């Protein structure tokens, strides 16, 4: 049985749904620090779990005989800059709880999300390699880099089967933007439909690595289903699908909404974005467990606008 901690978050919401489609809804226990929407809670087994409460997590693992844990609870980059101490506490101690339960043999397999935020201003910006200088300058990035070190340590020293991916910016229509610097690329679609204009908090030429959520969920399931011996990297894998700038995503939207206008008003998040790579080399994921992206910018724009229009 699978437990998702942080099931109401941006990735957690879709991950819960797609894992349930694959394994059956009663094989996937969703949990979050607060109850999600009524229909989410009604869609399958749900438990209120605080990712910082070791005993709560242990109880749920024993109650449902959990074998795999996906730990998706964290504060994202922009929010973490406003709450450094809590962000470090939540992002790190939740990981230690799950890694320790796995070390004690109470959990068989762990998935933990890393991010391109582990790279910093001194990292090569284009086609950032798997192995390179990593001096993250954000609270979130520091927590992800440290988390990667601990995942690799628990695998090497205690044999814990933990697997991780450095997600690029993720774009989806099923949840609202949640404190990520890359979330301008989610908000822009909502605003294009509601206002036909968007004031972007990043400058027009800010290129960032991005991915449509369905690709990210498929990658997550593929790395977790891969044979353990094929998952050679136990810190976290670089993963890539596309890179684009606010100007390019606006042009993609204009193909559907010709009167759409974008303006630019960079704020504190510009500095965060400038510290990250513009594009990522994910050759190890492609070699080790056959990763291949399926969605490009125009395919994503079409799906985003179609699904968001239905929601309005």
What is the pattern of x (binds ligand VAH, CB under 6 A) and - over residues 59-78? -----------------xx-
From candidates 15, 51, 60, 116, binder to ligand VAH by CB under 6 A? 116
Q: How many CB atoms lie within 10 A of CB 243?
A: 20
Do strands 2-5 and 237-238 pair parallel, antiparallel, or not at all (unpaired)?
unpaired
The reply to whether 212 sits near ligand VAH by the rule CB under 6 A is no
Residue 24 φ/ψ region, left for φ over 0, alpha for ψ in the -120 to 50 degree band, beta for the rest? left
In the complex with ligand VAH, which residue's Cβ is closer, 231 or 236? 236
> Minimal distance in Å, beta carbon 170 to ligand VAH?
6
In the complex with ligand VAH, which residue's Cβ is closer, 43 or 130? 130
Residues between 125 and 184 with contacts to ligand VAH, criterion CB under 6 A: 140, 168-170, 180-182
**Which one of the listed residues 64, 70, 140, 167 is annotated catalytic?**
140
Point out which span in 30-38, 112-120, 254-262, 304-312 binds ligand VAH (CB under 6 A): 112-120
Residues 167, 173, 175, 176: is their CA dihedral positive or negative? positive
Tell me how long the chain is.
312
> Minimal distance in Å, beta carbon 300 to ligand VAH?
15
Decide if 226 contacts 289 (C-beta within 8 A).
Answer: yes
The reply to whether 275 sits near ligand VAH by the rule CB under 6 A is no
Annotated active-site residue 140? The verdict is yes
The reply to whether 117 sits near ligand VAH by the rule CB under 6 A is yes
Active site residues: 140
Binding site for ligand VAH (CB under 6 A): 76-77, 115-117, 140, 168-170, 180-182
């Amino acid at each position: 049985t699978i437990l998702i901690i942080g099931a109401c978050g941006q990735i957690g919401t879709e991950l819960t749904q797609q894992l349930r489609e694959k394994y059956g809804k009663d094989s996937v226990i969703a949990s979050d620090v607060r109850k999600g929407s009524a229909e989410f809670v009604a869609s399958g087994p749900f438990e209120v779990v605080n990712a910082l409460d070791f005993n709560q997590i242990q109880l749920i693992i024993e109650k449902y005989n959990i074998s795999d844990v996906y730990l998706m609870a964290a504060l994202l980059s922009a929010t973490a800059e406003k709450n450094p101490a809590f962000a470090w506490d939540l992002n790190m101690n939740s990981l230690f709880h799950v890694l320790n339960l796995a070390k004690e043999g109470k959990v068989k397999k762990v998935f933990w999300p890393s991010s391109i935020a582990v790279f910093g201003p001194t990292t090569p910006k284009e086609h950032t390699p798997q192995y390179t200088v990593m001096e993250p300058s954000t609270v979130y990035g520091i927590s992800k880099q440290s988390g990667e070190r601990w995942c690799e340590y628990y695998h090497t020293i205690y044999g814990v089967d933990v697997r991780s991916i450095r997600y690029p910016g993720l774009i989806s229509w099923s949840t609202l933007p949640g404190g990520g610097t890359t979330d301008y690329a989610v908000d822009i679609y909502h605003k294009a439909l509601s206002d036909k204009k968007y004031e972007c908090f990043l400058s027009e030429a800010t290129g960032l690595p991005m991915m449509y959520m369905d690709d990210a969920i498929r990658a997550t399931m593929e790395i977790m289903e891969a044979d353990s011996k094929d998952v050679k990297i136990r810190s976290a894998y670089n993963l890539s699908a596309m890179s684009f700038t606010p100007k390019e995503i606006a042009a993609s939207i204009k193909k559907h909404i010709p009167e759409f206008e974008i303006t630019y008003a960079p704020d504190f998040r510009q500095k965060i974005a400038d510290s990250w790579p513009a594009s990522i080399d994910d050759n190890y994921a492609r070699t080790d467990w056959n990763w291949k992206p399926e969605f490009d910018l125009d395919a994503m724009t079409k799906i985003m606008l179609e699904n968001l229009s239905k929601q309005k």
